[in-house]
């Protein structure tokens, strides 16, 4: 109980309004249920025995229903309308709290329980059907499920409401305040510029299309040691964080003192687990560096998927795939896996920075990745506005892929069936991946771009401090666009990303002999 009092006292230095203090106290149970759900989700993906799945689904559904009933309770609406009258007198934390809670209440009350349950039922079936359809290369099997999912998403968009385009209502679920207009403005520049840079890279030939290390195998025990050494180098706080193994790498947090990442070892092509570790580390660091005073409140947690992804992409690509990091990585891999001992740091750099158009999004390099997202964005928007039917989707996918990347998928698993997102009902989610890349490049530019001393180290401590101050510590206090304006000098824009790609892929190669000589 003393611990509880102590945490309130720290929070009360930020939250002074008695109305909001009462709200925070009464909403702590929601935080606790979120905590329990996160831990259950982690366990489901890591250690749960296979047959635990049925009971776990029942428990999860009950907890979700309980959370929904708290978020739609009359007492909460009463407190919110009282807070609304006090809004002008609030400080930034109080305004943030009011914004986050009213947004949650608005979303939860717009969607009737029947619709939420229908979505849960169809997506849990669709996920299994999608797996089989992908294995059997049979889009027709998945089609009726996707049709119903699209219908449900369209109904959700209508109920949530929007000003310009129904797709905006879905975007907002993943990235508060994001509209198609913002996404169009990013892609209008990014798509043609990416094609131009890609053509120049291919003409010059410094970055290889393929590297022989991609075919080299490794032992899992040694790979685990590699991961431990990388995370030690990044000063991963082992008393507040863990690493485990799962089929698909992810990060989950149970508050600022319990953050967990996972990794997958495939036995070949070690850069895959090295970079997924760097990626998840970036997500974990965001959670670990939040202001602990926000704990147990609706203000704790990353502000949006796009901002979260910017953190993972920053560590994965901008730090992790830089020439300066190669000296660090080579030492670690030389000592653990040993497969790089005969190679130069420059050769390692070329291995981790291959550039080749591929039909598969998750295999894409940092140059071509956003073209994959643009394809999904364009098709999703058409599905939601009703200008494209689900049965037209495979053909639309293949021809757009050919236009963007010059590749025609050889089968549905290489094309329209490759991602799990639609089976989960996640439409409007993909654009946040590109926002992550654009925001990561905005961070690069704010740090000084090519001249950044922190990146040339890399100076891990300085980078962590910089990100902590500008982004992490704020939790959800400021909405994403405002956070970006305050911390990085502008909203989502492709400018910094284009500048970064041009610098790294077209200008940097001529300076690399000096970098690697040092």
Residue in 280, 287, 380, 491 annotated catalytic: 280
Beta bridge partners of 253: 259
Q: Using CB under 5 A as the criterion, what x/- string covers residues 260-299 for binding Mg ion? A: ----------------------------------------
Q: How far apart are CA 278 and CA 334, in angstroms?
A: 18
Minimum Å distance from CB 178 to Mg ion?
A: 17
Q: How far apart are CA 137 and CA 427, in angstroms?
A: 22
Q: Which is nearer to Mg ion, 295 or 312 (CB)?
A: 312
> What secondary structure letter does DSSP report for 116?
H
CB 259 within 8 A of CB 311: no
Count of residues touching Mg ion (by CB under 5 A): 1
Q: How far apart are CA 468 and CA 253, in angstroms?
A: 17
Closest CA to 391 of 196, 141, 207, 171: 141
Minimum Å distance from CB 312 to Mg ion?
A: 4
Q: How far apart are CA 357 and CA 426, in angstroms?
A: 25
> What secondary structure letter does DSSP report for 268?
B
Minimum Å distance from CB 63 to Mg ion?
A: 24
The residue from 312, 336, 368, 370 that contacts Mg ion (CB under 5 A) is 312
Q: How far is CA 438 from CA 163, 285, 302, 455, in A?
A: 25, 19, 17, 17
Residue 143: both structure tokens together: 């089609």
Minimum Å distance from CB 283 to Mg ion?
A: 6
Q: Give catalytic status of residue 155 as yes or no.
A: no
Indicate the residue whose CB is closest to Mg ion: 312
Q: Which is nearer to Mg ion, 139 or 429 (CB)?
A: 429
Contact segment (CB under 5 A) with Mg ion among 170-178, 309-317, 394-402, 481-489 equals 309-317
For 62, other C-beta atoms within 10 Å of its C-beta total 10
Minimum Å distance from CB 43 to Mg ion?
A: 20
Residue 356: both structure tokens together: 């080749």
For 379, other C-beta atoms within 10 Å of its C-beta total 20
- Interaction residues for Mg ion, span 337-356 (CB under 5 A): none
CA angle 228, 232, 263 (to 5 degrees): 35
Contact segment (CB under 5 A) with Mg ion among 307-315, 368-376, 398-406, 491-499 equals 307-315
Contact segment (CB under 5 A) with Mg ion among 304-312, 317-325, 353-361, 459-467 equals 304-312
Minimum Å distance from CB 373 to Mg ion?
A: 13
Q: Which is nearer to Mg ion, 156 or 472 (CB)?
A: 472
Q: Which is nearer to Mg ion, 312 or 340 (CB)?
A: 312
Q: Which is nearer to Mg ion, 312 or 418 (CB)?
A: 312
Q: Which residues are catalytic?
A: 280
Interface positions with Mg ion (CB under 5 A): 312
């Amino acid at each position: 109980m003393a611990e509880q009092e102590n945490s309130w006292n720290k929070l009360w230095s930020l939250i002074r309004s008695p109305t909001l203090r009462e709200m925070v106290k009464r909403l702590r149970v929601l935080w606790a249920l979120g905590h329990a759900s996160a831990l259950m989700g982690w366990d489901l993906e890591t250690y749960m025995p296979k047959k635990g799945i049925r009971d776990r689904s029942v428990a999860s559904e009950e907890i979700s229903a309980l959370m929904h009933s708290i978020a739609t309770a009359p007492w909460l609406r009463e407190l919110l309308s009282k807070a609304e009258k006090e809004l002008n007198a609030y400080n930034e934390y109080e305004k943030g709290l009011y914004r986050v809670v009213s947004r949650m209440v608005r979303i939860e009350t717009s969607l009737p329980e029947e619709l939420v349950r229908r979505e849960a039922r169809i997506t849990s079936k669709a996920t299994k059907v999608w797996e089989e359809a992908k294995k059997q290369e049979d889009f027709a099997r998945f089609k009726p499920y996707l049709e119903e999912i699209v219908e449900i998403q369209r109904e959700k968009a209508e109920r949530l409401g929007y000003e310009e385009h129904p797709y905006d209502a879905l975007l907002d679920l993943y990235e508060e305040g994001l509209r198609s207009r913002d996404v169009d403005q990013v892609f209008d520049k990014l798509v043609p510029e990416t094609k131009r840079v890609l053509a120049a890279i291919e003409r010059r030939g410094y970055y290889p299309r393929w590297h022989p290390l991609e075919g080299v195998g490794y032992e899992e025990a040694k790979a685990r040691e590699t991961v431990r050494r990388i995370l030690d180098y990044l000063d991963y706080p082992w008393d507040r964080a863990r690493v485990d193994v799962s089929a698909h790498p992810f990060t989950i947090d149970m508050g600022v003192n319990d953050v967990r990442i996972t990794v997958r070892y495939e036995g070949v092509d070690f850069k895959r687990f090295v970079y997924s570790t760097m990626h998840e580390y970036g997500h974990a660091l965001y959670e670990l560096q939040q202001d602990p005073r926000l704990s147990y409140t609706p203000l704790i947690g990353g502000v949006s998927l796009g901002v979260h992804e910017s953190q993972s992409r920053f560590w994965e690509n901008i730090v992790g795939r830089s020439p300066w990091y190669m000296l660090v990585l080579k030492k670690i891999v030389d000592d653990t896996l040993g497969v790089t001992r005969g190679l130069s740091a420059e050769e390692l750099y070329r291995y981790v920075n291959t550039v080749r158009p591929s039909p598969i999004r998750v295999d894409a390099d940092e140059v071509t990745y956003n073209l994959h997202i643009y394809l999904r964005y364009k098709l999703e928007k058409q599905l939601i506005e009703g200008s494209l039917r689900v049965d037209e989707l495979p053909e639309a996918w293949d021809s757009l892929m050919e236009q963007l990347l010059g590749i025609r998928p050889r089968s549905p698993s290489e094309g329209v069936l490759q991602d799990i997102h639609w089976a989960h009902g996640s439409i409007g989610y993909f654009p946040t991946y590109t926002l992550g890349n654009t925001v990561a490049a905005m961070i690069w530019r704010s740090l000084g771009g090519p001249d950044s001393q922190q990146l040339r180290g890399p100076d891990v401590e300085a980078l962590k401090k910089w990100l902590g101050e500008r982004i992490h510590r704020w939790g959800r206090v400021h909405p994403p666009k405002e956070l970006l304006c305050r911390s990085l000098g502008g909203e989502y824009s492709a400018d910094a990303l284009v500048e970064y790609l041009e610098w790294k892929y077209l200008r940097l190669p001529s300076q690399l002999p000096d970098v690697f000589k040092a």
